[in-house]
């Protein structure tokens, strides 16, 4: 009788294991475009970070993300007169504007760049401000302000504008510069991708 119970218990145990294992069998879909010898890391490609010019909403990971970093700022030209007069009063031969350039993140007013004064800058001669820090450009709206510095009175606004660097790069300005024109002035951002 004990042998009979052992056989029944063994049969029930075996049937239970088979039932559980067949009921819990998992099937996983194959990886897309499976290539012989490819690893999981090979399928974790792309860039799903919206701050990258290489953003892809369908990317599986971030292994291919690269970003734009500012190397310098350039004012190529600005209006040569403040209304119908020169920018400065003409002490000596200084009738050109003394340029100050500021760049901020529009939504937060965080200063990204505050340029040193470029004294008596000719309106059609490019003025450059090099960026010593690695400033990563993000998918945000930035505002730039160009002013004429006045030591005795408030600065005179010359021009201001806005831009989104990631959108500009994605819209074809991917040659290492972003150009934005506003208020008679042209700002060119020089950048690298890394």
pLDDT band at 164 (very low <50, low <70, confident <90, very high): very high
Domain 68-193: which topology?
Immunoglobulin-like (2.60.40)
pLDDT at 82: 72
How large is the C-alpha radius of gyration of the chain? 31
Check residues 16 and 189 and name the one with the higher pLDDT: 189
Chain segment 67-117, per-residue pLDDT in tens: 999 999 999 999 987 766 666 665 555 678 889 999 999 988 789 999 999
pLDDT at 64: 84
pLDDT at 184: 94
Q: In the structure encoding, which two tokens stand for residue 111, read together?
A: 């200063």
**149-169: average pLDDT:** 89
- Are 96 and 123 contacting, i.e. CB atoms less than 8 angstroms apart? yes
Q: Which of 188, 184, 187 is nearest to 79 (CA)?
A: 184
Cβ-proximal residues to 82 (8 Å cutoff; 6+ apart), any chain: 97, 148, 156, 158
Largest distance between two CA atoms of the chain: 122
User: How does the average pLDDT of the chain come out, rounded?
Assistant: 80
Cβ-proximal residues to 20 (8 Å cutoff; 6+ apart), any chain: none
pLDDT band at 179 (very low <50, low <70, confident <90, very high): very high
For residue 193, CA distances in Å to 70, 137, 139, 163, 186 come to 9, 10, 14, 18, 22
Q: What is the pTM of this model?
A: 0.72
Q: In the structure encoding, which two tokens stand for residue 66, read together?
A: 């690269």
pLDDT at 125 over 90: yes
From the CB of residue 42, how many other CB atoms can be counted at a distance below 10 Å? 13
Cβ-proximal residues to 26 (8 Å cutoff; 6+ apart), any chain: none
> For the chain, what are the domain ranges?
68-193
If DSSP codes are grouped into helix, strand and coil, which group holds residue 77? Answer: strand
pLDDT at 31: 43
**170-188: average pLDDT:** 87
Chain segment 21-63, per-residue pLDDT in tens: 555 444 444 444 444 555 555 555 789 999 999 888 888 888 8
pLDDT at 152: 76
Q: What number of CA atoms fall less than 13 Å from residue 114's CA on the CB side?
A: 4
**133-162: average pLDDT:** 91
Number of residues in the chain: 194
């Amino acid at each position: 009788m004990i042998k009979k119970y052992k056989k029944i218990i063994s049969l029930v145990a075996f049937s239970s294991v088979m039932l559980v294992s067949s009921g819990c069998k998992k099937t996983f879909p194959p990886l897309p475009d499976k290539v012989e010898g490819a690893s999981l890391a090979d399928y974790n490609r792309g860039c799903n970070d919206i701050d990258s010019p290489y953003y892809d909403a369908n990317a599986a990971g971030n292994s291919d993300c690269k970003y734009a970093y500012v190397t310098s700022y350039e004012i190529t030209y600005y209006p040569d007169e403040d209304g119908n007069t020169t920018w400065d009063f003409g002490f000596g031969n200084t009738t050109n504007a003394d340029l100050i350039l500021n760049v901020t993140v529009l939504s937060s007013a965080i200063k990204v760049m505050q340029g040193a004064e470029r004294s008596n800058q000719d309106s059609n001669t490019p003025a450059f401000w090099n960026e010593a820090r690695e400033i990563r450009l993000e998918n945000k709206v930035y505002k730039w302000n160009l002013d004429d510095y006045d030591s005795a009175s408030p600065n005179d606004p010359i021009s201001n504008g806005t831009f989104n660097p990631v959108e500009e790069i994605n819209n074809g300005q991917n040659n290492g510069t972003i150009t934005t024109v506003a208020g008679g002035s042209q700002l060119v951002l020089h950048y690298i991708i890394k």
